[in-house]
Amino acid sequence: MTNPNDIDAGRLSILLNELRLPAIKMLWADFAEQADREGWPAARFLSVIAEHELAERDRRRIERHLSEARLPPGKTLDSFAFDAVPMISKAQIMAMTAGDSWLAKGANVLMFGPPGGGKSHLAAAIGLALVEKGWRVLFTRTTDLVQKLQVARRELQLESAINKLDKFDLLILDDLAYVAKDQAETSVLFELISARYERRSILLTANQPFGEWNRVFPDPAMTLAAVDRLVHHATIFEMNVESYRRRSAMEAKRQRGRPPIYATITQPTQIDAPRQLQEQ
């Protein structure tokens, strides 16, 4: 193989820029030197640098998609307490993170439960896992998106605004409860649901079961139509558990109330240690 020192490196750098191959531009010289030293055939050298270019493109794409997803930080499946939500199957959730079985069909996921029950955490964690698998996701509070769509409607751009959301395979609408019971707000939400029906997926979290959605959609016919479109191809999770936030606060309070773990050891068998230490 030609010694890289004999190649016009400046010219090659320009060519790689034109071809938009930044990883190869950065790595080719080191790999060329290794290839010469180890006697690689040309095909292996080309394969290695091409693989690095593709890996770098995947990394940059995921980085861009994570940035646009607007996921809340720290919400991962590893940090989700599945044992505190026994009605949620970890195996089912892990299978869903592949995305192929439902995102490709425009199916939905609906999560119901009281405030603080882990709905937002689980929704964001699923979103993160899907982005890492190559899907495009947008996480938004329902009220925030509804307000943006209302502005678009006033500017006669509602259809365009909804169409722009088509680039996302999954739209996570968090906290349906806080949409005002207002015809203008709920109508743009209904139009969004209708536009994505059987085309693009929605993951929606809500505090109220379907029977209480009349608090969101003032028109009974609109309520039925919205529910019909969301449920037609959907996986529904009922997360009726004690509030994560309340449980964490109570645990923190108990921790603060514990006495310091130390003692003057005169007779070791008499130490009144906390239960955790006794069990060790």
Both 57 and 134 in one domain: the answer is: no
250 part of a folded domain: no
Both 52 and 117 in one domain: the answer is: no
Task: Tell me what pLDDT residue 116 has.
Answer: 83
Spatial CA neighbour of 52 closest among 78, 72, 22: 22
Task: Tell me what pLDDT residue 265 has.
Answer: 29
280 part of a folded domain: no
Tell me 170's DSSP state. Answer: E
Both 174 and 222 in one domain: the answer is: yes
List the structure tokens of 230. Answer: 């969301």
Both 36 and 95 in one domain: the answer is: no
262 part of a folded domain: no
Give dist(CA 47, CA 54) in Å, integer: 11
Place of tokens 């861009």: 64
In tens digits, the chain (280 residues) has pLDDT values of 455 555 577 788 888 888 888 888 888 888 888 988 999 999 998 999 899 888 888 888 899 999 999 999 999 999 999 998 888 999 999 999 999 989 999 999 999 988 888 999 999 999 999 999 999 999 999 989 999 999 999 999 999 999 999 999 999 999 887 665 666 777 898 899 999 999 999 999 998 877 777 767 777 787 788 889 999 999 999 988 665 555 555 555 555 655 443 333 223 333 233 333 334 3
Task: Tell me what pLDDT residue 262 has.
Answer: 34
Tell me 270's DSSP state. Answer: G
Both 8 and 127 in one domain: the answer is: no
- Number of domains the chain contains: 2
**Per 3-state DSSP, what percentage of the chain is helix, strand, and coil (rounded to 5)?**
60, 10, 30
- The residues, ordered by sequence, that sit 6+ positions from 201 with a Cβ below 8 Å of its Cβ are 102, 103, 106, 107, 108, 109, 169, 170, 171
Domain residue limits at 12:
4-69
123 part of a folded domain: yes
163 part of a folded domain: yes
Both 29 and 114 in one domain: the answer is: no
Both 98 and 128 in one domain: the answer is: yes
Both 226 and 163 in one domain: the answer is: yes
Report whether 121 contacts 243 (CB < 8 A): no
Report whether 127 contacts 203 (CB < 8 A): yes
The b/e string for 170-194 (b: 16+ C-beta within 10 A; e otherwise) is bbbbbbbbebeeeeebbbbbbebbe
List the structure tokens of 133. Answer: 């698998």
Both 230 and 95 in one domain: the answer is: yes
Both 60 and 87 in one domain: the answer is: no
Place of tokens 């091409």: 50
Task: Tell me what pLDDT residue 13 has.
Answer: 84
Both 56 and 94 in one domain: the answer is: no
Spatial CA neighbour of 4 closest among 43, 37, 41, 50: 37
Q: Which residues pair with 205 in a beta bridge?
A: 111
The b/e string for 195-222 (b: 16+ C-beta within 10 A; e otherwise) is bbbeebbbbbbbbeebeebeebbeeeeb
Give dist(CA 165, CA 176) in Å, integer: 18
CATH number of the domain that residue 202 is part of: 3.40.50.300
266 part of a folded domain: no
